[in-house]
Structure 1
Amino acid sequence: MRRLFLAYLLGVVTILPVIVTSHGIPGAHSEGYVADVIVVDLNCDANETCVSRPANFVEYYGADWCEECPEVEQQLRNMSNDKVVTISHRPSSSDDFWLQASKERFLDVYGLWGYPTIAVDGHYIFAGPTQSKQLDSLLSEYDSNYSGITNVTINGSTISLDGNFTNMSIDIWTIQNDSSITNLVTNHTNYSESNIVDTNGDKLVIVLSRPGFIALISGSSIPANDYNPDGGIETKNTEANSISGTTVLIITILLLMISLPATYQLVQVMRESKQANINIENISIKDTAVTDAAFSIDSEDN
């Protein structure tokens, strides 16, 4: 059984002020923001640095069925910036490694609606592989200067954090290095609910945030034209095999519109046919009346 003991964070990284503030562009947030990010290496030796604070935090949101996602995933695998930590979420319930916490972060925290999406430091968004090509350029331009967590201690699966966490939330993501997906998220712990974490992975990524919706701004000047809509975060099979009520209504209206001219013509033909029958009957009645009248006149003459 792997057992870890990580001493004070101040002995590993530079001490930063405990005061928690937002980072990046002022006014970019609606309610929440990312204040600090700490990475714990679960595979490090005793004489190595096991805890670090990245310069930037990249969150990738993709799906197994997303046609545009492999290109972005390949880009993330090729990144060589050691100062940046990347984690990969699978919010779609049709995916093998989807997490409810990832789904909630995708929908509720960032208000995202499609794949592939990259969120950087809780400030910037890159939608689709075309925009994502500008990720490296953005990361080279600034450092988030994260702060807030001053101490991390892990003993076995129990984690202890110190810092000023008033009105803050702490999410702990367990990630694994995958051959195709960079730092795949496999588990989540809400520190306010539990201090037991899943250490069956390669790293822990600890995110200190102010709770609430985080409004992202575009990190790219290129329009997003290769973006796969999420479709409601439901399973792909369910979506493929089900038809919504709106779709049924639209199809019904279209069928009615298509069949209306033919229906109108049929009604007209039926009316004309009925009128013709009435006219024929009237003619027959008149002919009979004329014959009867002629017969009466002939009788009188005789």
Structure 2
Amino acid sequence: MMERADQLVLNYVSKAADAAHGVLRADQRLDFAKRLRARIEVERHGSQNAREVSKVLARFGDPAALVEREARRLAEAGIPTKRDAAAGVPATGHDPASTQEQPPGAGPVPGQDAGSTRRFPAIVDDGDVPAGVRTYRRIAQESLGGRPGRGLPFAGLRRLAMSTANPMATGGRDARTIVKEHSRETAAMVILVLAALLLPFDLPPVAIFEIPVLVWAAGAVIVLFSESWKLGDKLLGIGAPLLGYSVGGVLIGGLRVGSEPGLQAFFTQFYDVSGTMFMIGTGLGVVWLAYRLLDVS
């Protein structure tokens, strides 16, 4: 989904531009946003996959931190920013508009002349370290995570627990940002939860279908057409309620029958517990989908 991936980039650059208000002058803010967008385009390598683009943006970190880094760069060059001007700091350097450097390790950006994009501050993993250090760092990451790019075990759980705290601890992402960027996926999870909550109510069926089943089917369709989850995650998220209803109902219902003979006693116990097991399965499935939605890196 090209529009979805591009929207993620646009939202990120907009947050950085908003954070630059009161810190950079209008011309500096425009220049900063252009260079940030160009650097992101270089790093995404033309990818239109929303999940991959989210990983790239997470590597850049908190947009506010990038603004502060840009302000420090200008200060080191003796160029006053809007914040410096308010504090009465005099200008001692030259205008950075005359500097025409490429981003480190990046070729020309499509649609721009060579050299039109000046140097942008290094992103999270662009550290200027010797090759040997990078090699041993990669080996350590592989040893800890089991495979490249995986990171520490249960790192997603840490991000989930910190999703409402400092965005710097979650790779620049928080719960509000995730809900905004994945509104359709959030709506699907809400619909699944709504289907479970409707079970205790004795609602009249539509034709031969119970209303909770129709609501669950609508949420399942949205989940299946989403590109933010892998197929296995989708099947687990929407299949957990069905497993809870069928397998859980059979197991718990069978245990509750005890020594009572006959199928009638079994079906009575099955229908008594299957709804509760469906609700439990829905809760577990939605928790898994939410966890995988947050675990983009």
TM-score (norm 2): 0.29
| TM-score computed with the length of structure 1 as normaliser | 0.29
Question: As a proportion of its length, which structure holds more helix?
Answer: 2
